[in-house]
Amino acid sequence: MSIAHRPSDETLAAFAAGQLDEGLAVVVACHVEANRESRQRLRELDAVQGALLDAIEPVAMAAGPRDASGIAQGAPDSAAPVSEAGMPQVLRPYGFGPWRPIGIRIAMRRVEVPGAGARVFMLRAGPGIALPHHKHTGVEWTTILAGAYEHEYGRYAAGDFDEADAEHEHTPRVDPVEGCTCIVAMTGNVLLQGWLGRMLQPLVRF
pLDDT at residue 166, as a whole number? 73
When comparing pLDDT for 168 and 75, which is higher?
168
Instruction: With 0.85 as the threshold, say if the pTM is over it.
Output: no
Domains of the chain: 9-74+88-203 (2.60.120.10)
pLDDT in tens, 138-159: 899 999 999 999 988 899 999 9
Query: Which residues neighbour 114 within 8 Å (Cβ) at sequence distance 6 or greater?
Result: 22, 72, 74, 75, 76
CA end-to-end distance (rounded Å), the chain? 30
State pLDDT tens for residues 98-135: 999 987 888 999 999 999 999 999 999 999 988 777 77
Q: What is the pLDDT of residue 169?
A: 80
Nearest to residue 1, comparing CAs of 148, 120, 119?
148
Smallest CA-to-CA distance from 106 within 77, 127, 86, 89 is with: 127
How large is the angle between the packed helices 22-34 and 36-54, nearest 10 degrees?
120
Contact 86, 146 (CB under 8 A): yes
